[in-house]
Amino acid sequence: MKKLFIEKPLLIFEMRHFPNEEWFKTDLRQVCGFLKRTNDKTKLKIYIEENQAVFANLPEDAYDLLSVMAGIRNLKLIKQEVKAEGGGFDMCKAIKEMLRDSRLEGRQEGRQEGRQEGEQEGRLKGQDEMATLSEKLILADRISELLKASTDREFRNKLLLEFGLA
């Protein structure tokens, strides 16, 4: 078995921690630079702006490597939508589209949560109004009106106004 494998030194490095990205003379420089800054949004934004010419027309292999190494699955999903005229892929546009999609998704979630909270508040307010109306009708010895109010919305609204609850 030893004869099948020859021991050779293997140099492995983690691009996120590689201190000398300027050593790279290809688009690997931008991939490394991007990855090093993924944990700091401000630094990443500045880096992309400084290298906009490269990121606006990134070769396909660099785009694919970046999407895998950065763990951004959505880059694969929108790849064809961000194809640049020069044959590469516009990473700037890709990031803008992902941010736009995230904002839209956040707004939809916010609306849904707001709607649910509003419905819950409305239910509680209605229950409180009905409880107060019931108490006032019982204390006023108007039990028959309480029974009618429980089934007749128009009559119930009239009583709510009468007692200043609506």
Could you tell me if 31 and 65 are in contact, meaning their C-beta atoms sit under 8 angstroms apart? Answer: yes
Picking from 17, 58, 16, 87, the residue whose alpha carbon sits closest to that of residue 48 is: 58
Q: Is the pTM of this model over 0.85?
A: no
What percentage of the chain has pLDDT greater than the value 70?
95
Q: How far apart are CA 72 and CA 60, in angstroms?
A: 15
Per the listing, tokens 């409305």 go with 122
Could you tell me if 157 and 151 are in contact, meaning their C-beta atoms sit under 8 angstroms apart? Answer: no
More confident residue, 105 or 1: 105
- The one-letter amino acid at 119: E
Picking from 125, 144, 124, the residue whose alpha carbon sits closest to that of residue 134 is: 144
More confident residue, 132 or 1: 132
Residues 6 or more apart whose CB falls under 8 angstroms from that of 53 comprise none
Average pLDDT, the chain: 85
Could you tell me if 27 and 55 are in contact, meaning their C-beta atoms sit under 8 angstroms apart? Answer: no
Residue range 122-158, pLDDT digits in tens: 899 989 999 999 999 999 999 999 999 989 999 999 9
Residue range 18-35, pLDDT digits in tens: 788 888 888 888 888 888
